[in-house]
Chains A and B, each alone.
Chain A
């Protein structure tokens, strides 16, 4: 029996319990007293008890079986094949699945057929097991709930408790995610720091993970891999600075103009247009940066006699700045609007021009919020990945010249982790160490922004 059919049966059984339970508890109890809760709550209780455990089991088994089979099937692949150059699990699995489904594209290796045969066997066993266990569980737990129904049984409260438990546990998922992130990143980072000292990572000036364990061409010498992350942070810093030097002036002045000078009609048109900049996927920005902006900057620079890399930090930073403009302008706009009108009235009443009132009264009052929004923009810039992967280079260059190619922390994380890796090598683990520093920096910036806002909020409350 296939999973959807089993699910249907579980549903039907639960519905059955619901109806029986409801009917049973309508009207008066056998001993003449009234039931505590309305009948559908009793029915719901039995139905929930039937449905929840068994559907959980069904989902786990259904998702799990394919995966378990894949693991087991790969065992059939002989050692010689799996350790060979260019071996791809996915392709072999696809071949096995094709045979299982009866699609034959030419001759396959023997082990493929063997794996497929075994697969068919597992499938049969698993299906029977699934059917029996799930349906059985459903009947049993439902019956158990059904037995409890009686005039004194507070079924509505019981049902509500179950629902509350479900709600609370979904909140726990949020915690689990954080724990998961911290756990996975810290754990792997610690393994990295067992191989590479922390001081080299934090203060080293060369980043060269490629040559891990590989011979340098012809020299017979094992290449030395170095994991000094300073060039990466320098690159992140450089590109972020370029990005912010575009985003902050443009964003701030846009916010000032929109909130203080623009008519409400202009504001209602321009503000959504600026928001569009925030909605464009970063891969599109990366494409734009790599294909349009970088060549343009390169050719302009060349014609001015400057030496511009084809993947300059300037190009990536410029496009990133465009992307961040709405972050700065939107948040600043909110903050500026929050400044009480009474302060503006006081300034105007004394004879200030509009720009004087803004520069000397409104902006200083809004400053904590504006600073916070800039910090959040920095955090966004530091964590940005696609634009730098596509438009900035991969060369770990220790440079502050925006016309050079540099690489960033995020770009390296992607480069290292995309593709096949062994979880044991220092190269792969270094990505986790980078991710750890990234998390620390972004959370630190966000925390800082929050503190600034909290500290200065008292001013007019």
Chain B
């Protein structure tokens, strides 16, 4: 009879008070300590402590509604755009608490870039899309320098070959996969140290997905990448570490291979064996 109740709720009592696994790392780029996030009165993230390791890919996995996207958006303070959202706790980038009232959000977001679930290129030319960030931040001191940034970003995103001869065409005219790579190029152009990706491939076909996953694999030599994904296979393919979220709590975190072959917590095990999704 126990099996008849919704498995997710049944497991609520099994949530650990303390995260299982390797929460801390030696060379973190960002650290989070005791982070709570509320939407109005509803608690979306409950006491999450986690280190984001430098020049690595960490993926956040977990069932729908477990708060992984919400937590991701805390890392570049995108939750500020939502009125009812309240964040408690400490999140540090290079030993600076990013939620400190004196911190200007603008440089933070230049350092911590974001790629969204549905590709959202601006209705501008491909060049202007990539050049947008450098222009507003005044990164380029000459036209040549700007051209250089745009070309390098597009190369890095693996898009240059396909669009070099049509940089003035509209970004929205590209295919889904190309648009997402354009968005990645756009994010790269402002020289971030961390790139956040919120289910970047969920709107793409398998071939485009494969290309983006390849790209992520290459990008981690230069950038720290945090990726939210609902595909465990994707997490297994691209990430060094994996963090499993459940109902707002960070249940377990560790090496990807460990998580998927030998998870320590029973909830993690239930998730990856498909007991709930």
Contact = CB atoms under 8 A, between A and B. Distances in A.
Interface stretch (A32-40, A92-100, A218-226, A340-348): A340-348
B250 to A, nearest CB: 24
A459 B136 contact: no
Interface stretch (A134-142, A187-195, A356-364): A356-364
Interface of B: 76, 78, 81, 105-110, 113-114, 116, 118, 120-124, 132-133, 136-137, 172, 183, 186-187, 190
Contacts of A350: 109-110, 113, 132-133, 136, 186-187, 190
Given A345-B120, A351-B136, 8 more contacts: A342-B118, A342-B120, A349-B113, A351-B105, A351-B190, A360-B136, A361-B132, A365-B123
Nearest to A342: B120
Interface in A321-359: 340, 342-353, 356
A345 B69 CA distance: 14
A460 interface: yes
Given A351-B106, A360-B132, A459-B172, A346 B137 contact: no
A343 to B, nearest CB: 6
Q: Pick the most buried of A343, A346, A347: most chain B CB atoms within 10 A of its CB.
A: A346
Contacts, number: 65
B150 to A, nearest CB: 14
Interface in A438-461: 459-460
A351 to B, nearest CB: 4
A353 B106 contact: yes
Q: Pick the most buried of A342, A350, A360: most chain B CB atoms within 10 A of its CB.
A: A350
A364 B123 contact: yes
Interface string A420-451: 00000000000000000000000000000000
Contacts of A460: 123, 172
A346 B122 contact: yes
A351 B133 contact: yes
A352 B105 CA distance: 9
Contacts of B81: 344-345, 348
Interface string A167-180: 00000000000000
A299 to B, nearest CB: 48
A340 B137 CA distance: 24
Contacts of A340: 120
Contacts of A349: 76, 78, 109, 113-114, 116, 187
